[in-house]
Amino acid sequence: MTNSLPLSWWLGLVTKAADDSSTFEQELVAWPPAIIAMDLVMPGSDGLELLEICQRHTFQGHLILMTGGYDIYLQWAEEMATVRSLRIAAMLPKPFRPKQFSYLLMSLI
């Protein structure tokens, strides 16, 4: 039998998901998270736009930035987040191992 419970359950985390910038901003305002894990390349919006939203709402938590695209996206996002005084907890090129991600989350909670 395989384990079908999500990683968030095992770590005791409550999670929310957003697949566009409008939903992301609504959730950020309504339920300010301690940790945001974001893919920098998504259909309809990108992580750089989401970083601007984080700055606009003075997000004080940890950011985990990830991408399966070019490494330059991680570099741009790091520069942008630094200029905007956002806290980057990690930058992960995809694919990454779920165990690696779970250890990262455990270090932040």
Q: Is the pLDDT of residue 2 over 50?
A: no
Among 4-18, 58-72, 94-108, which is the least confidently predicted range?
4-18
Q: What is the maximal distance between C-alpha atoms in the chain?
A: 48
> What's this model's pTM, rounded to 2 decimal places?
0.86
CATH number corresponding to 20-108: 3.40.50.2300
Helices (H), 31-97: 47-56, 71-83
Per-domain boundaries in the chain: 20-108
Torsion from C-alpha of 94, 19, 35, 38, nearest 10 degrees? 30
